[in-house]
Copies of this chain bind each other. A is one copy, B any other.
C-alpha cells in the first residue's frame, strides 16, 4: 500500500511564538499535532472511520491537509489512534479493582457512578465505538490486546468465572438471587451503555437536548443502583 519507509515524523521544535494568522479561525493555537488529533476525534466520532474525510479533519483543525499526513502518515493510522484512545477511555470507565467484600449496594453504585461520570464527559464515545466495532470487529480485539497486553480471548473466560464465583458466594450468603454471570454483566453494561449508544435517537426522536440528557443522567446515577439492586434481591 503506502511506502514502507520509517516515519518522517520528528518532534516539532519546542515552543512556537504567537501565531500571526490562523486561517479564519481564532483558536489559541495549541500544538499542531494536538489540534489535528482533537479535530480527528471530533470528525471520526461523528462520521465514523469510513464516513470521515481527511479534508474535513484538516478544516476542523485549521490546517492544510498535507499536515495530517506529515504528522500521522495515513488516514488509517489517524483513525486507529483515535479509536485506540476511545477504547482506552471506555475501559477506564469501568472500575478496575472492586472490593469483593463491599455490600452489593456499594458495588453497583460504584459501577454506575464511575461509568456515568466518566462517559458523560464524552457522551458520543460509546456510539462511536459500537459503530466501529460493528463494522470492523477484529479491530476491537487487536486494540484491546495492544492496550492490555493480553488476548481478551484468554482473559474473558477467566473474568467470567471470577464474577460467577463472586455471585455464587453472595447467593450462598442469601444476599442475592442466582443468575449467570454473563447475564448480570450484560445487563449491567446494557443499562449503563445503551443510553449513550442511543444518544442520537433520544436526541432526535425524544427531542432530548444536552441539558435534558444531563438531567436524565443525574437521575440515572440514583435510579440505576436501585434498579439493579432490586433486580438482584433474593
Instruction: Give the interface of A toward B (CB within 8 A).
Output: 46-51, 124, 127-128, 130-131, 133-135, 137-138, 140-141, 144, 152-153, 156, 160, 177, 179-180, 182-183, 186-187, 189-191, 193-195, 197-207, 216, 219-220, 223, 227-228, 230-233
Contacts and interface: CB of A to CB of B under 8 A. Distances in A.
13 contacts: A48-B51, A51-B135, A128-B134, A130-B131, A130-B197, A140-B205, A141-B204, A153-B205, A153-B207, A183-B220, A187-B227, A190-B194, A230-B231
Q: Among A156, A204, A219, A230, find the residue whose CB has the most chain B CB atoms closer than 10 A.
A: A204
Q: Is the interface of A mostly helix, strand, loop or mixed?
A: helix
A189 B138 CA distance: 27
Contacts of A206: 152, 156, 160
Contacts of A160: 206
Contacts of A127: 130-131, 134
B138 A204 contact: yes
